[in-house]
Amino acid sequence: MTLALHEAGVFSWSEWAQTLSGTLRDSAPDGSDYYICWVRALERLMDSKLGTTDAQRSALARAWERAAHATPHGQPILLANDPGAHG
């Protein structure tokens, strides 16, 4: 996702590196939270560049979860499968 957003021109690679570096400053000494830092950095860039919010990202995550539960096994999970989106 990070690479796709970069390739779409949402942010430069130097912006990504700077944001990730900032989140890593407060990371665990053993690096066990590296993935969490990566996600936080991506969220920060999305928020600053696209205007997204925690509430919007949470709502979208819930929609994907509902879509996953509503999708028959073996079928692609599509956001359109979210039963909450139709009501």
pLDDT in tens, 23-68: 999 899 999 999 999 999 999 999 999 899 999 999 999 999 999 9
CB 50 within 8 A of CB 41: no
CB 82 within 8 A of CB 64: yes
Put simply, whether the predicted model's pTM sits higher than 0.75 gets the answer no
Q: How confident is the model at residue 84 (pLDDT cuts 50, 70, 90)?
A: confident
8-24: b (≥16 Cβ within 10 Å) or e:
eeebeeeebeebbeebb
CA-CA distance, 53 to 59, in Å (whole number)? 10
